[in-house]
Structure 1
Amino acid sequence: MKTRYTALALCVLASMTVPGVCVQAGEQQQSAGLVEDSHWQVLNRIVYDNRDYKNGGRSNGARNAFKPRAERNGYAEELAYGLMASFQSGFTQGTVGFGVDAHSYIGVKLDSGGGRAGKSRLLALDKDGHARDSFSRTGAAAKVRLSSTVLKYGEQRTKNPIFSSSDTRLLPETTRGWLLTSSDLKDFALQAGHFTGGADRNSNSQNNDLVVNYANPDAKKGNALSFAGGTWKGIPALSLTAYAGRYEDNWKTYYLGSYYSLPVTTTGTLAFDLNLYHSKDYGQARAGEIDNTTWSLMVSYAQGNHKLGLGYQKVDGDTPFDYVNRGSIWLGNAMQLSDFNAPREASWQLKYDYDLGDLLLPGLNLTAAYTRGSGIDGSGMDQKGAYTWLGYGKGGKHWERDLMLRYTVQDGKAKGLAFSLRHDVHRSNKAQAELDTNQVRFAVEYPLGG
């Protein structure tokens, strides 16, 4: 991208008409140096994951997929240790600064097996479908900074509603490409990027295609995803976000989101979280005909240690709302076991959070959520598209119950040590594509940094 198109150039032009619209001193002007501003972090994580997929006959080969069909069952169990080391350098001093970020991830099997690896979640599998004893990957990205605009190229993690890296299992997801971020425009955080591949959470290789979540795995994928957008926070209680993305020869996606918090008493706050996506096929339309609008609204009220939320989500389209990268769905009803994103689906969620710090132990939190979806109808789907393999029927419905208890040590030598325990249940009828599942997950995390 040419320099004249950077946010810094936009900032200069804007300042000619609206004085003070831009940040007065860019971050690069405050650089202490490549080494002086560098920092590192090591995150230790142990995860136990147990998934009992009910009604084994509905697996369609998804569970224990490397075993003969007659021997498949609905049981998956893994225990693993993950070590995630990351390093972020500072920037060299001067008008333009240069630096590098790097990471190295290692996953180690503590307990699992071919029969229990099932629909693998934590560990990489060998060619026979057995969990590897260990797997690892390493990556790096070069970066350059002008004022408060940074261009980064290489293996990295992203976070935005169109293209976001997931870190909800043993190791994080990473992607390969370039990312431009800027805070040079006052009250704006801007991003643009172009990515061509990466690594899924349980991958032992960086050189993989982009991950698509719902399209048939055998369908021809696109080779790149591009996006641009940003967030405005000109008012403390309000943020507005807009993004546009394009998944090569498959679809274009547009996103609008807003978050607004309103104090209603001296200790109570009402908050509104709105997310809207619109996707439309384009180019070769390799996934078939797509015309999907999906939105969610979560209204929550926080009072003291309590927070109660009510959410609604609606899919308007004959295909499920699909996305690239595991974390690129910022809908309110995207839960642990289901995204509630099936064709024509409408879903409700009731959620309760309780900070147990005053009652039992500082840093202890409880979350409970119940979500119910109905009205699923896959009968209007493009029969030559990439989603017929999911088997959506007419009149599909399902529900999910999620419970999570999390404790984080607040001070002392073990500060940051975190424990989380969750139990999730999902049930559906035959017209809904996702599996009946019971899940228990226990995780321990301990960060070290410098």
Structure 2
Amino acid sequence: MNKVLPLTVLAALSANAAYASSGPESNGFIVDSHLDVLLRNAFIDRDYKPHGIKERAEWGQGVIASYSSGFTQGPVGFGVDALAQYAVRLDGGRGRSGSGGIDFFAQDNDGRAKSNLAKFGATAKMRFSNTVLSYGTQRPALPILNADDSRLLTETFTGFMLDSQEIDGLDVSAGYFTAEQQKSDDSHDTGLNSLTFAGAHYQFNDQFSGAFYASDVQDVLNKQYLGLNYRQPFAADQALILDFNGYNSRLDQSFADSQNTGRSNTIWSLAASYVWDIHTFKVAYQQSSGSTGYHYGGYRNQGGIGDGGNSIWLANSYWSDFNGEDERSWQLAYSVDLAGLGVPGLSYDVAYVRGDNIKTAASGNGHEHEFFNQIQYKVQNGPAKDLKLKVRYSVLRVSSDAADYNIGGNEIRVFVEYPFSLL
């Protein structure tokens, strides 16, 4: 028995080494390179309902150009990536700009939003077998660190990142970042000292996958994430999908003191979706517990965490994230793909979420509810192929005794995006 285990491990490692040595085929630095451009016209209007809070709105035109080279040929390949972003403000500025939740254009000292933004970044990368190590401007898309691309321009981080797929079905990631560039400004100095993370995603089989990641933001918090997804097909056009996402986080004492809150939080959600032909019906439950709510995103120099504005992979996250202290929330949602009714590219989503049991200084049972709906159309062919129009309308109401946790109102988002490739 003592001999069998080492031999088994050796055989597995040998098989893995053979798999890794083959690696992805490289056609060269130039041949595999591509240049993609995204034109994005975006408008957000938030009409806050509490008395005395001004309506906020921003409108802009953005251009995001992404260049990615191939890798040089050989056992170790080298390459470069580059990112250029430019935006011009279209709304007029003073009076309605400046909402942290919109974050299109940062405000100057005179209270006027910047009229334009220009941002550039580059990344050097090296590949061996199925492992890539890179340094420079990064846009991580992981549950523990997800750069926000849901506004006009995209958020980026600077540092090292490792992605390894040496074992079939297993994707291992790790990173170390020392700077964050906010969406709405060209400054790299957002106050982030360092952020370290590591974790993996594994596809166990065609139906079941799981992921675990952990991160540490220096002098702010450490956080762990667990995600599980299971899909059970019943027929060619029917399936049940179960999706679990959860975070456990602990704030540093000094940061918790600066926020006048406790240190620990555990938050999780479980969603069950039934897909039936063009229809998807979903129910979800989300629970937050601990001595504080779930903290994520924001910028360090503005009192935020600094770990990416989309680092909340939870079911009940729309305008509100339903992530208050001790909050519990329920969701009913419906989506339809109207391609099945003869309109390919057109889809509609609607959801209702209600949260209660929110603990604040004023109450132990604050509550909120949100009605969300969104219609989206993507051109399927012709000169405007892949042009996408998205219109979203949310109604959020928050009880007065939970006002120091969240603010309600009506929100409209209109996004027009046109991606195309130049290389």
TM-score norm. by structure 2 comes to 0.90
Please report how far the alpha carbon of residue 23 of structure 1 lies from its aligned counterpart in structure 2 after TM superposition.
6.9
Amino acid corresponding to residue 198 of structure 1 in structure 2: E
1:353-372 equivalent positions in 2, closer than 5 A: 353-372=335-354
Equivalent residues of 2:265, 2:288 under 8 A apart: yes
Equivalent residues of 1:14, 1:21 under 8 A apart: no
Question: In structure 2, what is the Cα distance between the partners aligned to 1:393 and 1:197?
Answer: 38
Equivalent residues of 1:75, 1:118 under 8 A apart: no
Equivalent residues of 1:50, 1:76 under 8 A apart: yes
Match of 2:202 among 217, 221, 232: 232
Please state if 1:328 is matched with 2:301: no
Question: In structure 2, what is the Cα distance between the partners aligned to 1:346 and 1:15?
Answer: 48
Q: For residue 291 of structure 2, what is the aligned residue in structure 1?
A: 318
1:178-189 equivalent positions in 2, closer than 5 A: 178-189=160-171
Q: For residue 397 of structure 2, what is the aligned residue in structure 1?
A: 427
Amino acid corresponding to residue 62 of structure 2 in structure 1: G
Q: CA RMSD for the aligned pairs?
A: 1.8
**Structure 1 counterpart SS, 2:284:** strand
Question: Does 285-294 or 156-165 show the bigger shift?
Answer: 285-294
Q: For residue 98 of structure 1, what is the aligned residue in structure 2?
A: 78
Amino acid corresponding to residue 70 of structure 2 in structure 1: G
**Structure 2 counterpart SS, 1:204:** coil
Amino acid corresponding to residue 309 of structure 1 in structure 2: K
| Shift in alpha-carbon separation, 1:93–1:132, aligned structure 2, 3 A | same
Please report how far the alpha carbon of residue 22 of structure 1 lies from its aligned counterpart in structure 2 after TM superposition.
6.0
Amino acid corresponding to residue 197 of structure 1 in structure 2: A
Please state if 1:263 is matched with 2:240: no
Please report how far the alpha carbon of residue 203 of structure 1 lies from its aligned counterpart in structure 2 after TM superposition.
1.6
Equivalent residues of 1:15, 1:22 under 8 A apart: no
Please report how far the alpha carbon of residue 39 of structure 1 lies from its aligned counterpart in structure 2 after TM superposition.
0.6
Q: For residue 271 of structure 2, what is the aligned residue in structure 1?
A: 298
Amino acid corresponding to residue 55 of structure 1 in structure 2: P
Amino acid corresponding to residue 289 of structure 2 in structure 1: D
Equivalent residues of 1:404, 1:423 under 8 A apart: yes
Question: In structure 1, what is the Cα distance between the partners aligned to 2:263 and 2:222?
Answer: 10
Match of 1:24 among 19, 27, 34: 19
Please report how far the alpha carbon of residue 125 of structure 1 lies from its aligned counterpart in structure 2 after TM superposition.
1.9
Q: For residue 256 of structure 2, what is the aligned residue in structure 1?
A: 287
Amino acid corresponding to residue 330 of structure 1 in structure 2: W
Q: For residue 304 of structure 2, what is the aligned residue in structure 1?
A: none
Q: For residue 307 of structure 1, what is the aligned residue in structure 2?
A: 280
Amino acid corresponding to residue 78 of structure 2 in structure 1: F
Instruction: Give the 4+ runs in structure 1 shifted more than 3 A.
Output: 13-23, 25-29
Equivalent residues of 2:98, 2:107 under 8 A apart: no
User: Per-residue displacement from partner, 1:139-195 (whole Å, max 9, x unpaired)?
Assistant: 111111111111111111001111111111101111111110010122101100011
Match of 1:42 among 37, 45, 50: 37
| Shift in alpha-carbon separation, 1:196–1:261, aligned structure 2, 3 A | same
1:29-428 equivalent positions in 2, closer than 5 A: 30-57=25-52, 59=53, 74-119=54-99, 121=102, 122-210=104-192, 223-282=193-252, 285-288=254-257, 289-323=262-296, 324-335=307-318, 337-378=319-360, 393-428=363-398
Equivalent residues of 1:28, 1:97 under 8 A apart: no
Question: In structure 2, what is the Cα distance between the partners aligned to 1:436 and 1:185?
Answer: 47
**Structure 1 counterpart SS, 2:96:** helix
Equivalent residues of 2:28, 2:72 under 8 A apart: yes
**Structure 2 counterpart SS, 1:131:** coil
Please report how far the alpha carbon of residue 356 of structure 1 lies from its aligned counterpart in structure 2 after TM superposition.
1.1
Equivalent residues of 2:143, 2:312 under 8 A apart: yes
Please report how far the alpha carbon of residue 363 of structure 1 lies from its aligned counterpart in structure 2 after TM superposition.
0.3
User: Per-residue displacement from partner, 1:55-103 (whole Å, max 9, x unpaired)?
Assistant: 233x5xxxxxxxxxxxxxx211222100001100111111111111110
| Shift in alpha-carbon separation, 1:169–1:311, aligned structure 2, 3 A | same
Question: In structure 1, what is the Cα distance between the partners aligned to 2:70 and 2:12?
Answer: 33
Question: In structure 2, what is the Cα distance between the partners aligned to 1:246 and 1:424?
Answer: 33
TM-score norm. by structure 1 comes to 0.84
| Shift in alpha-carbon separation, 1:252–1:370, aligned structure 2, 3 A | same
| Shift in alpha-carbon separation, 1:192–1:407, aligned structure 2, 3 A | same
Question: In structure 2, what is the Cα distance between the partners aligned to 1:393 and 1:209?
Answer: 33
Amino acid corresponding to residue 36 of structure 1 in structure 2: V
Equivalent residues of 1:318, 1:377 under 8 A apart: no
Question: Does 406-415 or 99-108 show the bigger shift?
Answer: 406-415
Please report how far the alpha carbon of residue 291 of structure 1 lies from its aligned counterpart in structure 2 after TM superposition.
1.7
Question: In structure 2, what is the Cα distance between the partners aligned to 1:136 and 1:15?
Answer: 53
| Shift in alpha-carbon separation, 1:32–1:181, aligned structure 2, 3 A | same
Equivalent residues of 2:98, 2:113 under 8 A apart: no
| Shift in alpha-carbon separation, 1:25–1:145, aligned structure 2, 3 A | same
| Shift in alpha-carbon separation, 1:109–1:23, aligned structure 2, 3 A | farther
Question: In structure 2, what is the Cα distance between the partners aligned to 1:149 and 1:266?
Answer: 36
Amino acid corresponding to residue 370 of structure 1 in structure 2: Y
**What is the aligned residue count?**
397
Please report how far the alpha carbon of residue 15 of structure 1 lies from its aligned counterpart in structure 2 after TM superposition.
5.4
Question: In structure 2, what is the Cα distance between the partners aligned to 1:240 and 1:76?
Answer: 40
Please report how far the alpha carbon of residue 133 of structure 1 lies from its aligned counterpart in structure 2 after TM superposition.
1.6
**Structure 2 counterpart SS, 1:358:** helix
| Shift in alpha-carbon separation, 1:105–1:15, aligned structure 2, 3 A | farther
Question: In structure 2, what is the Cα distance between the partners aligned to 1:22 and 1:293?
Answer: 39
Question: Does 48-57 or 18-27 show the bigger shift?
Answer: 18-27
